[in-house]
Structure 1
């Protein structure tokens, strides 16, 4: 090894952490807050939502929102039929590339509190319907054992050593000109915190933001286009 190369190594070792810190600053101060509140108004960001009481102390939360071109009564059937083995999540990223339903399916319109909605192809993980108020509120809860990748039932199963648990809430309110204001609220926690917190901030939150924005886009196309043929690339 040349003397020049040996001198270069310490410089690289110093520059790499510096580059990470330089990128982390703008992300934490500017990008991350916008990801966590995409589309939401100040009032929506500051208010409490049904389901928040399930996690009075949370490691992280987000409020994202959009306006859909249909009244709550037309939006609700699309939300009720969500699930991996049902209509999907209106986002191919959440369903491993499989397109979601492009119509309201009558046999998927029955949903009750406590019902499980499969989240993965093997059925090992699921969402549980935690709260349900027709045409207003749908709160789904996830309790995931990180070691096995399986869901667990709080209060019945032993608490895993590493887990993430939280809610994914959909809240509908009438909007001007016959539309619907759809506010999506997430809130949750994980343990051990030294593992789940960095993972959530660096990977979980950005991934959720991308998937949620895509879901908003695809729902907007569906509820606003029920009377016209579905575009073949509407669910991307």
Structure 2
């Protein structure tokens, strides 16, 4: 419940700030100036900022490469983000497979997405057996089900209606791993999807970036010899 309320509060606060800025400009100048400011800001975000955060950390090859789950939404689009981890794929996998609310957490900002509980900083044996059909909860009672899984390689969750999410581990030349994440959807352009792009989109980027960096840090720390298994 705390996670739901926190996320709803953040989205509402962002919307209120946007409305407040427009209202202030309209009061100080006029409505047309306020609308022009909004148009410039939206175009600036869509043309300059959004393309950058949509592919944070990913190479051209990774953005263009087909990933597991793409076939469920052939005409889909969405962000592809990646990070290099100095650990082998089989050493990163245990951290990835235990992800989710009510499991090891999301390795992101826990006060937002894990009811304030810290995400696991060790490999938890009871969360290692993820199967097709199991939910990966994002909020209490809500989360996409696993559609396909290949140990040490990738997890695909979601569905064609709401979108698919893929985490994939690719061996790097130096013996490390490229962790690549892709969200794919084919939503029609509506006020709701535009709202998602402008307000929720940056928030999801901030959360996912933190997740990738935390997985990297914990997998590399474990590989360096730290104890990782819960007794």
TM-score, reference length from structure 2: 0.79
Larger Rg: 1
Give the number of the structure whose residues are more often helix, by fraction. 2
**Aligned partners of 2:95 and 2:85: how far apart in 1?**
12
User: Which aligned pairs between 1:1-236 and structure 2 lie closer than 5 A?
Assistant: 11-58=29-76, 60-91=77-108, 92=110, 93-121=112-140, 123=141, 125-141=142-158, 165-190=162-187, 193-226=189-222, 227-228=225-226
**Aligned partners of 2:115 and 2:37: how far apart in 1?**
33
Instruction: Indicate the RMSD between aligned Cα atoms, in angstroms.
Output: 2.2
| Post-superposition CA distance 1:161-184 (Å, at most 9, x none) | xxx601111011111322100110
Shift of 1:10: 9.3
Counterpart contact for 1:190–1:196, Cα < 8 Å: no
TM-score, reference length from structure 1: 0.77
Distance 1:219 1:194, change over 3 A: same
Runs of 5+ unmatched residues, structure 1: 1-7, 144-163, 231-236
Give the number of the structure whose residues are more often strand, by fraction. 1
| Post-superposition CA distance 1:166-221 (Å, at most 9, x none) | 11110111113221001101101446x42432122112321221111000111111
Runs of 5+ unmatched residues, structure 2: 1-25
Query: What secondary structure sits across from 1:212 in the alignment?
Result: helix
| Post-superposition CA distance 1:12-53 (Å, at most 9, x none) | 212111111221222111111001000110111112111011
Query: What secondary structure sits across from 1:178 in the alignment?
Result: coil
**Aligned partners of 1:110 and 1:15: how far apart in 2?**
56
Shift of 1:82: 1.1
Query: What secondary structure sits across from 1:64 in the alignment?
Result: strand
Distance 1:10 1:224, change over 3 A: closer
Counterpart contact for 1:170–1:184, Cα < 8 Å: yes
**Aligned partners of 1:172 and 1:138: how far apart in 2?**
9
Q: How many residues align?
A: 199
Residue matched to 2:22? none
